[in-house]
Every structure is written in C-alpha cells, then in structure tokens.
Amino acid sequence: MAGNSFGQLFRITTFGESHGEAIGVIIDGCPAGLQVDLDYIQGELDKRKPGQSKITTQRKESDTVRILSGVFEDKTTGTPIAMLIPNEDQRSKDYSHNVDVFRPSHADYTYEAKYGIRDHRGGGRSSARETAARVAAGALAKLLLKTLGIEIVAHVSSVGKINAPNVFINDPIEFIAEREKNIVRCADPATAEEMIEFIDSVRKDGDTVGGKISCYVKNCPVGLGDPVFDKLHADLGKAMLSINAVHGFEFGSGFEGSEMRGSEHNDIFVKSHLGDIQTITNFSGGIQGGISNGMPIEFKVAFKPVATIMKNQATIDSQGNAAEISGKGRHDPCVVPRAVPIVEAMAALVLADHWLRNRNARLS
C-alpha cells in the first residue's frame, strides 16, 4: 500500500492499524541538535487522545509515546527518529457485525474493491487512529519551528451551523490557554457553550455533526513555498485533505473571495514602521503566488460528520445483498475538537519541510 509517507526533506512515514499492537511514525530529515521536549510532544498527543470528555469517543487510550531512535541526550542526532504509540483499548469485538457488510460513508467498500482484503476492525489504516502518529511527528516539527519564532495555533470556529466570531491572536500562548478552557476547543467562550450543548444533544440522539477548524500561522518568514506544483497553499491543502473526515479546505478569503471584485480583494502593500513590507488586508491568507509573503497564514478546514452513528442503516453485504447495519460500540458525536492538534501538526510538517527546502535561499 503506497501513500504512507508525507514530505520531501522533513519526511514522515506512519505505520500501524487501529486494532493492531501499535501505531507509529518514522521521521527522516529532522536536523541534528534540536532539543526534544518529550513532555511537549506528549501534551500534544493528550489533546488528540480519545476519552477526553462526554462529546468525544469513549475509547480509552493513554497515547503514551516512546522514542526508539534518533535522539541522544534529549537532542536529535540527524538520523531517522522512530516513535511508537501502543494501542491499549482496541475492543475488536465491537466490529464483529461488520465482517461482511459495508458501513455507509466508510472506506470498507473502496478498500475491499482496491485491495481485495480489508481490516473490518475499525477500518485498519483508514481509521483516524492513525492520526496520533501524525500529531507526534508534528509536535517535533513544531519544536523546530519554535526555534525560528514560527507559531501555529488553531481552534474550532464552527460546529454545524454555529459559527464563532473572528478572533484576533495577539499572543499564541494566551490564545491556546483560552481555547483549552472548554472541551470543544473554541476560543470564544460564549460560542463554545452553545457548541457543547448542541454536540451533546446530537450525541443523545445517536447521531454526529461536523464543523470547521480555523488555523493561523504567526511569524512565518517571506519565501516559503515553490512554484508551480509545490505551492505552499497546495501542500497545505494536500496535508489537510489527507486527514480523515476532511471535506474542505480554503485559505485566505476562500470561497467568499469568489464573490468579491478585484478592487475589493487586492491586498495593498505598505511599509510598516519597522521597515518591513506588509499588506493592509490579508485576503491572500499570507500566501501569494504559492509563496509566503510574511503576513499571517490563515486557512480553514471543514470536517464532515463522523460516519459511525448509533442508528440502524440500510446497506449491502460483500455479495451485493441488501443488509442492515446497527449502531454498536463507541460513539464520537463530533470529531472536530480532537482534530485541532491534528490540523496544527500537519501545518507544522508542511512548514518544516518548506523551511528545509528554502533554508539556503534568501528569506529576508
């Protein structure tokens, strides 16, 4: 099975299945001498792990990460870094009723059609369990970016039709602290309460709901990204669309920009009081011509409702016969709050990769 690696110079390869012994990641290309903060990496995993609250799946995983190679005396050595996260609460019996039937909107049918075999226990490689490995790798990438002053922050900006107002990020640390005060990870407290109440009502109904995550990159230098096929926003889009349940990506003005005139949408250049070049507006989302322009990078990621619901649904079996699948096992009414660290991680992996590609270029 191809497609398990991401990145060029800062390259990761994930492995493992939802109900196997463990999942993990190999990171190749991380520069030597980077101080590795294992507590920070574990903290990022703790934000993604299941069982955090009543509005997430109740699978119990500590997601305790072990670094097996590539680190000596808490610093990277420049060799491949292996990270391992054991699976502790698989409960494969919860999926025994899925052996011969295709779950609606899951990867069951497409995997079996492509490979002739599939792991019915939670979907195998198609399970969002795999994203824990990405978060571990992304945390290391974030540590690298922090040495350059680059900060990445995200929050849940909508659930269903509930939308948070636009937020201003002055201090990334304060922003994250405010976001982490509620279980839905929305930086606007009033909207967060409304979101939580709505998700809980969806959970009680045995259903699921989607939402959006807004992500911001602060202090990104000018010059990251390459024409024509390696544009920075193109790689960010690929990274985000590779996350389970993601159905949409937009940067800057996004789809709303298509409704504007050029005279409204153009970002006018000015020279700041510090002498650097900035734009008055940021409809470009910090990226022009596929290359970062020094303004904050802004994008949104849209997640569909989780496909596993606690309701009976009509389907067919592997022989094409009509069947019914019942809602059993653990229920995740809204995956968006746990996806915040995944979005940040994938953004960090893209930026770290592009920084390595451009570190010998002029980034003034």
Amino acid at position 42, single letter: Q
Q: Looking at domain 5-359, which CATH architecture does it have?
A: 4-Layer Sandwich (3.60)
330 is in an annotated binding site: yes
Q: Domain locations in the chain?
A: 5-359
**Is 142 known as a binding-site position?**
no
d(CA 60, CA 78): 34
Is 289 marked as binding a ligand? yes
153 is an annotated ligand-binding site residue:
no
Flag whether 306 is marked binding: yes
β-sheet bridge partners, residue 6: 12
State yes or no: 54 annotated in a binding site: yes
CA distance 136 to 12: 11
State the average pLDDT over residues 82-99.
74
Instruction: Using a pLDDT cut of 70, give the percent of the chain over it.
Output: 93
Q: Which residue type is seen at 333?
A: P
- Has 304 been labeled as part of a binding site? yes
**Does residue 89 surpass a pLDDT of 50?**
yes
Confidence tier at 364 by pLDDT (50, 70, 90) = very low
Residue 338 assigned to a binding site = no
Q: What is the 3-state secondary structure (H, E, C) of the chain?
A: CCCCEECCCCEEEEEECCCCCEEEEEEECCCCCCECCHHHHHHHHHHHCCCCCCCCCCCCCCCCCEEEECEECCEECCCCEEEEEECCCCCHHHHHHHCCECCCCCCHHHHHHHHCCCCCCCCHHHCHHHHHHHHHHHHHHHHHHHCCCCEEEEEEEEECCEECCCCCCCCHHHHHHHHCCCCCCCCCHHHHHHHHHHHHHHHHCCCCCCEEEEEEEECCCCCCCCCCCCCHHHHHHHHHHCCCCEEEEEECCHHHHHHCCHHHHCCCEEECCCCCEEECCCCCCCEECCEECCCCEEEEEEECCCCCCCCCEEEEECCCCEEEECCCCCCCCCCHHHHHHHHHHHHHHHHHHHHHHHCCCCCC
Annotated binding-site residue? 361: no
pTM: 0.94
Average pLDDT, the chain: 92
pLDDT tens digits for 105-115? 999 999 999 99
pLDDT digit string (tens) for 323-360?
998 877 678 899 999 999 999 999 999 999 999 999 86
* Ligand-binding site membership of 127 (annotated): yes
Q: Do 143 and 89 form a contact (C-beta atoms < 8 A)?
A: no
pLDDT interval class at 94 (50, 70, 90): low
* Residue 270: strand pairing partners: 278
Q: Per-residue pLDDT tens for 168-185?
A: 899 999 999 999 999 999
| Pick from 339, 343, 335, 338: nearest CA to 306 | 335
Q: How far apart are CA 345 and CA 328, in angstroms?
A: 31
Q: What is the pLDDT of residues 231-287, one digit of tens each?
A: 999 999 999 999 999 999 999 999 999 999 999 999 999 998 888 999 999 999 999
Residue 327 C-beta-side C-alpha neighbours within 13 Å: 17
Q: 198 phi and psi, to 5 degrees?
A: -70, -45
pLDDT at 315: 93
- List of residues 6+ apart from 317 with CB closer than 8 A: 100, 101, 102, 323
Tokens (6 digits) for 103: 């779950």
pLDDT digits (tens, 9 = 90+) for 286-316: 999 999 999 999 999 999 999 999 999 999 9
Distance of CA 256 to the CA centre of its chain: 23
CA distance linking residue 17 with residue 19, whole number of Å: 5
The tens digit of pLDDT for each residue in 119-158 reads 887 788 898 999 999 999 999 999 999 999 999 999 999 9
